[in-house]
């Protein structure tokens, strides 16, 4: 079946349908990873977006449900140059095309993803429409496309009720995880280090967490514009004003910065992939990191009496981490659990454990 991608700038790409045939309007972003498409699709931070995979062959090792980062895929669309018709791997349980159909994710293949990625890099991430309609009016589609905005996504992806997860082995600490769109492996990294975890819905009042006897709080990744989450920022400020240790990742990093007076801004085309170099300023080392974000903390708005930039993106100099002068509080923009190095930045979880009084 034919399919088309219509961009907000009026450019139309024609290709073949994969996955669902439902019409989708969403934000179009690109990811430079060569592998990990299943983890990408199930990352809640992609809610409201269609993902362009810049690597030309996707789906060649199929789908294994153990690799999901959440209970379901959250991406609205999936855009590839070529989708492998079968998966060749001893862990393969399904084809990627079947997986997309099962979860109603609209996709397109047989388009020039290199040209599409160059447009997004030069003009910035933009909205678009995926459609399988034989006939469509571009001007009518552009009205829908330009009116679309990613919003309300944190509430949609967050858990609906608290959930307790035990530590693996001997329990050393109890951690409250504020679920703004948490990836499963963040929780697993804590549990492997002897932390019993309680997942809390995003809008949980700070008082509920602070009265629960937890040793620390994790603020997680999630989708959308951080500045939209005014209510969450107010609750995070209460957590910050307490003495409880805090580690914040990705969206959590941005929300914590907003709660302490800094501002955030939109990146032209975001950082999405598994090959982003980040310098740990204090350690004097560069790490290869996994990233997925379209917004950043503006370094020059960080109050020098509150925090200092601890990590910097080597490619563009943007803020990748903050070390707060308030005891036991730090944050990173990148994902330390994703381990493209393969485990270079998991030391940050050890640092979090140490900040709670545990052994490294």
DSSP string, 226-278: GGG-HHHHHHHHHHHHSS--EEEETHHHHHHHHHTT--EEEEEEEEEEEEEEE
Catalytic residue flag (residue 276): no
- Cis before 288? omega within 30: no
Q: From residue 225, how far is each of 152, 204, 231, 331, 340 by CA, in Å? A: 10, 19, 13, 18, 26
Catalytic residue from among 39, 69, 109, 337: 337
| Calpha distance 298→88 (Å, rounded) | 44
Q: What phi and psi values does residue 37 have, to the nearest 5 degrees?
A: -60, -30
C-alpha angle 58-59-62 in degrees, rounded to nearest 5: 160
| Cβ contacts of 109 within 8 Å, gap of 6 or more | 15, 16, 18, 79, 80, 81, 82, 83
The helices-and-strands tally (H runs, E runs) of the chain is 10, 19
Instruction: Extract the tokens encoding 30.
Output: 């690109």
Catalytic residue from among 189, 195, 250, 329: 250
Catalytic residue flag (residue 335): yes
Catalytic residues: 250, 335, 337
């Amino acid at each position: 079946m034919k399919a088309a991608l219509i961009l907000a700038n009026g450019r139309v790409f024609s290709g073949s349908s994969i996955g669902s045939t439902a019409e989708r309007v969403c934000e179009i972003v690109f990811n430079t990873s060569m592998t990990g498409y299943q983890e990408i699709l199930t990352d809640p931070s992609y809610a409201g977006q269609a993902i362009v995979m810049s690597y030309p062959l996707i789906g060649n090792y199929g789908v294994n449900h153990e690799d999901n980062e959440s209970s379901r895929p959250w991406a609205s669309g999936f855009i590839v140059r070529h989708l492998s018709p079968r998966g060749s791997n001893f862990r393969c349980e399904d084809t990627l095309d079947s997986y997309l159909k099962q979860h109603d994710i609209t996709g397109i293949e047989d388009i020039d993803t290199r040209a599409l990625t160059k447009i997004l890099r030069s003009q910035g991430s933009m909205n678009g429409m995926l459609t399988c309609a034989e006939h469509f009016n571009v001007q009518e589609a552009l009205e829908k496309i330009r009116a679309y905005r990613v919003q309300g996504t944190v509430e949609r992806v967050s858990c609906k009720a608290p959930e307790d997860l035990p530590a693996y082995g001997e329990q050393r600490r109890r951690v409250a995880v504020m679920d703004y769109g948490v990836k499963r492996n963040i929780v697993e990294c804590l549990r492997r280090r002897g932390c019993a975890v309680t997942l809390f819905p995003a809008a949980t009042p700070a008082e509920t967490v602070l009265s629960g006897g937890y040793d620390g709080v994790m603020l997680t990744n999630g989708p959308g514009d951080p500045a939209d989450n005014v209510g969450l920022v107010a609750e995070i400020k209460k957590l910050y004003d307490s003495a409880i240790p805090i580690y914040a990742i990705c969206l959590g990093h941005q929300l914590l910065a907003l709660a302490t007076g800094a501002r955030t801004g939109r990146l032209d085309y975001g950082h999405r992939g598994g090959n982003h170099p980040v310098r740990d300023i204090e350690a004097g080392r560069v790490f290869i990191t996994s990233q997925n974000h379209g917004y950043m903390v503006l370094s020059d708005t960080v109050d020098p009496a509150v925090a200092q930039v601890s990590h910097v993106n080597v490619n563009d100099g943007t803020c990748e981490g903050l070390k707060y002068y308030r005891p036991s509080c730090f944050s990173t923009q990148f994902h330390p659990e994703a381990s493209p190095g393969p485990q270079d930045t998991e030391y940050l979880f050890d640092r979090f454990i140490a900040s709670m009084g545990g052994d490294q």
